[in-house]
Structure 1
Amino acid sequence: MPKSQVRKKKVYTPPTDIRPAAAAASKKPSPTWLPITAVGLIVVGIAWLVVYYLSSQQYPVEAWRYWNLAIGFGCMVGSLAILSKWR
């Protein structure tokens, strides 16, 4: 049985008008306060919810009732928004 020919693959050469090294060099690293703030918001949000449930809905602010849940989850969602800016 005859053997089939082996095709040589072309060597990929990236276009010269796009320089990934220059684009990567222009991105600055995130400031140090960004992850610290995000982790702080996560901790505050979780602590707010834990205190709310363990105190039988009396603390942190009894008059806000179920808005305490919105504040706790809002802190955690806010931390996600901050972390989306992290490089």
Structure 2
Amino acid sequence: MPESKSRKKATYTPPPEKAAAKPSPRWWVPVMLGLMVLGLVWIVVFYIGRSTSGADLPLPIGSWNLAVGAALIIAGFSMTTRWR
């Protein structure tokens, strides 16, 4: 009976390497930290203004000031995920 030809295995070629991620721009960290600090200051000013004078500071939007401060903090923390 005739013998079949043996197959040669192809040599292994590794997949191409991915390019390294570019570093963040120089303004990234100050903006990131600035948003987090601004959100914290916003909430502190709201609580101090409400407890001392009863006024809605920094904006007259009631308890939505907490949402604004939290949104600023969340925006700052979300920037940390892209920081290289």
How does the TM-score come out when normalised to structure 2?
0.71
SS class of match (2:65): helix
> Can you give the 5+ residue segments of structure 1 that lack an aligned partner in the other structure?
1-14
1:76 to 73, 79, 84: 73
Alignment partners' CA distance in 2, 1:78 and 1:34: 12
When Rg is computed on C-alpha atoms for both structures, the one with the higher figure is 2
Q: How many residues align?
A: 69
Runs of 4 or more consecutive aligned structure 1 residues displaced over 2 Å after TM superposition: none
Q: Find the counterpart in structure 2 of residue 65 from structure 1.
A: 62
Matched, 1:85 2:64: no
Among candidates 12, 20, 40, match of residue 26 of structure 1 = 20
Q: Does 1:53 align with 2:51?
A: no
By percentage of residues, which structure has more helix?
Answer: 1
Q: 1:26: how far off?
A: 3.0
* CA-based RMSD: 1.8
Stretches of structure 2 lacking an aligned partner (at least 5 in a row)? 1-11
What is the one-letter code of the residue matched to 2:40? I
One of 14, 22, 30 as aligned partner of 1:17: 14
